[in-house]
């Protein structure tokens, strides 16, 4: 393509709204423009790279036998009611009504759409396993969209779904998807970190995220330098770490006893007041859980809770409260807690609720004698000794508390946040942490959607069964932005060959005379050999052309200048120096560079 025909509104100044590198460079290079907060338009140059990412994903999905579909973006609200997620997805889901008052959803994800479609088509075990995918528009009404394409409201995702007769078949496809994801990201030039992850609102059991390191990442990654363990901190587990010495380490035979703590509420204040360590304290927080699917009928304080049973859905409680205990210096991991409670979300209860349930202001809750809500204790608590905790009365705590002797939790689970410095659950080495952004996520969903939406098939014995299901997503826009985050320098983007909008740019110093003839000949020869070429035929100063070439990041640049003819300069965008090459040999040499670069990443 000739640059005079290309719409390329490059910017010299960094837009004030752009914080991260990818957002700045996509705007400056004339690849995207913001239409509204969280809504972006791809301009021609950006769209070329977007399509290349999309096609890499498509090729690898096709290679493992997944079949592409194109469902609608707007889907009936009824199928979301069937799955139970109409109530649990929250305000992030955009709900609309049409002229006949039918409830509709602008798809934030497509489990319901594919399950609804395929339950009408799949009737026999002979049709399974089945793997299908879409590359389609999504909408999630983010409260605070930011970082350009990294967190927009409207975006494109590849969603794949698989349906199986047994867990072994599901695991085989899950592993195939994991291998395909690694190939996709390698072909895009990305260094990814696969990590164990929480399944969240998607449900299911097995789950793996594919992360890229990022200073502005939304995720904290917990990594082991010795055995390679990697997990999102929403999922990470660590080796047991009972208090080895000092306060909280030695079992006591003393009975627990009250101790006055006037105006002392926080862990830090207690440490100073009692001259002891945070590891000696049991911190108790009151949490509100939304739509818990645990059976709470026999739990303390839950006899009067309203239990809702939607048709074809598991029982859940619209609202319930829990006293959550963790060792004093640790934090409750709310994602782990929500998963443990099988709740759509959890949040700290308000002061009035805390006072109603505990009989005291915030700061004096404790598990001893607590009977107005179920007590959930972290594993760390059960390894504590001679502890201090709130006494359920203002300005009062208990000392000499022994978990298991003085209170028995309703539920014991891993609900702590793992941090750098904790020890690996596999090998015992010390963890380190990085920030990362999620590009892809694969889940083993199990029967969550096929049961709730009554998808059935006949097995080899003629009996009706529910298929088990997997789900596999990649954010296309976020992948594109992450490529730029990883491949850039002070002058602009440095595209990998596989996703560059053009492979080669030809820059004549002036597009006239012998320079024009040479540039046109190179353009024709390279185009004929299948190389994607951008010819800068504009009447601009050489400095402007070079700056634009570097900014948009085309991998190979050929400079045609009258001082060097009959030679031309060939320079890789990632290299410091250029090479003089006879113009008659330049097309063949550059075509070979392009082919070699593409071959190395397949």
CB 433 within 8 A of CB 422: no
Q: Which residues of 537-563 are buried (b: 16+ CB within 10 A; e: fewer)?
A: bbebeeeebbbbbbbbbbbbbbbbbee
| Alpha-carbon distances, residue 337 vs 98, 314, 364 (angstroms) | 38, 19, 21
Q: Where are the alpha helices (DSSP H) in 41-93?
A: 44-63, 77-83, 85-88
Give pairs for 305-308: CB < 8 Å, separation 24+.
Answer: none
Q: How many CB atoms lie within 10 A of CB 430?
A: 12
Q: What is the mean pLDDT of each run of 10 residues along the chain (602 residues)?
A: 95 87 96 95 98 98 97 96 87 93 96 96 97 97 90 96 97 96 96 74 65 85 91 89 80 94 88 90 94 86 73 69 95 94 91 94 94 95 94 95 95 95 93 92 92 96 97 97 96 97 97 96 97 96 95 97 95 94 96 94 70
Residue 184, H or E segment: helix 167-187
| Owner of token pair 């070429």 | 533
User: Distance between CA atoms of 528 and 531, rounded to whole angstroms?
Assistant: 7
Question: Exposed/middle/buried for 192, CB within 10 Å: 0-12, 13-18, 19+?
Answer: buried
CB 570 within 8 A of CB 522: no
Q: How far apart are CA 323 and CA 387, in angstroms?
A: 17
What is the helix (H) or strand (E) element at residue 158, kind and residue range?
Answer: strand 154-164
For 464, half-sphere exposure in the C-beta direction (CA atoms, 13 angstrom radius) is 6
Per the listing, tokens 């050929």 go with 558
What is this structure's pTM?
0.83
CB 259 within 8 A of CB 268: no
Bridge partners (DSSP) of residue 136 are 157
- The residue among 26, 28, 20 whose CA lies nearest residue 215 is 20
Q: What is the pLDDT of residue 276?
A: 87
75 contacts 112 by C-beta, under 8 angstroms: yes
Closest C-alpha to 313, from 451, 442, 411? 451
Q: What is the DSSP letter of 292?
A: B
Q: Bridge partners of 534?
A: 505
Q: Residue 449: name the closest of 275, 301, 258, 313 by CA.
A: 313
d(CA 65, CA 61) in angstroms, rounded, equals 7
With CA atoms as reference, report the closest residue to 111 among 134, 92, 94, 142.
134
Q: What is the pLDDT of residue 157?
A: 97
Say how far apart CA 342 and CA 226 lie, in whole Å: 33
Domains annotated on the chain, with CATH: 11-236+433-484 (3.30.930.10), 257-413 (3.90.960.10), 502-600 (3.40.50.800)
CA dihedral 371, 372, 374, 375 (to 10 degrees): -60
Backbone angles phi, psi at 371, to 5 degrees: -135, 10
pLDDT of residue 485: 95
> Which residues have a Cβ under 8 Å from the Cβ of 5 and sit 6 or more positions away?
none
What is the Cα–Cα distance from 275 to 138, expressed in whole angstroms? 55
Q: What is the largest CA-CA distance in the chain?
A: 99
Q: Which residues pair with 557 in a beta bridge?
A: 505, 571
SS3 491: coil
pLDDT at 312: 54
CA distance 230 to 355: 40
Q: What angle do CA 394, 399, 402 make, to 5 degrees?
A: 125
Which residue, among 155, 239, 185, has the nearest Cα to 418 in the 3D structure? 239
Judge whether 23 and 481 are in contact, CB under 8 Å.
Answer: yes
Pairing of strands 375-378, 411-413: parallel
Q: Is 490 exposed, middle or buried (0-12, 13-18, 19+ CB in 10 A)?
A: exposed
Q: Which residues contact 252 (CB under 8 A, 6 or more apart)?
A: 385, 386, 400, 402
């Amino acid at each position: 393509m000739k640059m005079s025909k290309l719409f390329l509104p490059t910017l010299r100044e960094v837009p004030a709204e752009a914080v991260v590198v990818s957002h700045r460079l996509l705007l400056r290079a004339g690849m995207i423009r913001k239409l509204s907060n969280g809504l972006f338009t791809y301009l021609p140059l950006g769209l070329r790279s977007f399509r290349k990412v999309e096609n890499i994903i498509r090729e690898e999905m096709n290679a493992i036998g997944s079949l592409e579909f194109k469902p609608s973006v707007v889907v009936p609200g009824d199928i979301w009611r069937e799955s139970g997620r109409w109530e649990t997805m929250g305000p992030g889901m955009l709900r609309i009504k049409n002229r006949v008052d039918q409830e509709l959803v602008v798809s934030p994800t497509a489990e319901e759409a594919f399950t609804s479609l395929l339950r009408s088509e799949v009737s026999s075990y002979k049709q399974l396993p089945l793997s299908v995918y879409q590359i389609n528009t999504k909408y999630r009404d983010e409260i605070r969209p930011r970082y350009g394409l990294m967190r927009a409201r409207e975006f494109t995702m590849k969603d794949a779904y698989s349906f199986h007769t047994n867990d072994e078949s599901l695991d085989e496809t899950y592993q195939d998807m994991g291998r395909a994801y690694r190939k996709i990201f390698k072909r895009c030039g990305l260094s990814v970190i696969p990590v164990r992850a929480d399944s969240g609102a998607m449900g299911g059991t097995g789950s793996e995220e594919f992360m890229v390191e990022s200073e502005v990442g939304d995720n904290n990654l917990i990594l082991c330098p010795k055995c390679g363990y990697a997990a999102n901190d929403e999922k990470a587990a660590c080796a047991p770490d009972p208090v080895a010495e000092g306060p909280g380490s030695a079992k006591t035979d003393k009975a627990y006893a009250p101790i006055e703590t006037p105006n002392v509420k926080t862990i830090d204040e207690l440490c100073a007041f009692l001259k002891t360590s945070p590891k000696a304290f049991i911190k108790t927080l009151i949490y509100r859980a939304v739509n818990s699917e645990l059976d709470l009928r026999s739990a303390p304080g839950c006899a009067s809770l309203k239990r809702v049973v939607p048709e074809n859905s598991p029982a859940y409680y619209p609202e319930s409260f829990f006293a959550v205990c963790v060792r004093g210096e640790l934090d409750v991991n709310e994602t782990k807690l929500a998963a443990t409670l099988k709740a759509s979300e959890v949040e700290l209860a308000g002061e009035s609720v805390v006072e109603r349930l505990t009989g005291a202001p915030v700061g004096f809750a404790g598990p001893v004698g607590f009977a107005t809500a179920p007590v959930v204790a972290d594993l760390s608590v059960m390894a504590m000794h001679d502890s201090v905790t709130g006494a359920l009365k203002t300005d009062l705590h208990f000392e000499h508390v022994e978990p298991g002797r003085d209170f028995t939790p309703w539920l014991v689970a891993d609900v702590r946040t793992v941090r750098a410095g904790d020890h690996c659950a596999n090998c015992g080495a010390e963890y380190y942490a990085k920030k990362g952004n999620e590009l892809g996520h694969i889940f083993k969903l199990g029967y969550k959607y096929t049961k709730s939406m009554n998808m059935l098939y006949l097995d080899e014995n003629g009996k009706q069964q529910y298929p088990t299901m997997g789900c596999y997503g990649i954010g296309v826009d976020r992948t594109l932005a992450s490529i730029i985050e990883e491949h850039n320098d002070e002058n602009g983007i440095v595209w990998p060959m596989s996703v560059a909008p053009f492979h080669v740019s030809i820059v004549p110093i002036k597009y006239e005379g012998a320079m024009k003839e040479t540039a046109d000949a190179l353009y024709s020869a390279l185009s004929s050999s299948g190389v994607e070429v951008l010819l800068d035929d504009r009447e601009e100063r050489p400095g402007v052309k070079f700056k634009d070439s570097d900014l948009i990041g085309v991998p190979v640049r050929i400079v045609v200048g009258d001082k060097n003819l009959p030679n031309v300069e060939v320079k890789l965008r990632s290299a410091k120096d250029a090479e003089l090459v006879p113009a008659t040999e330049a097309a063949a040499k550059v075509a070979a560079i392009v082919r070699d670069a593409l071959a190395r990443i397949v």
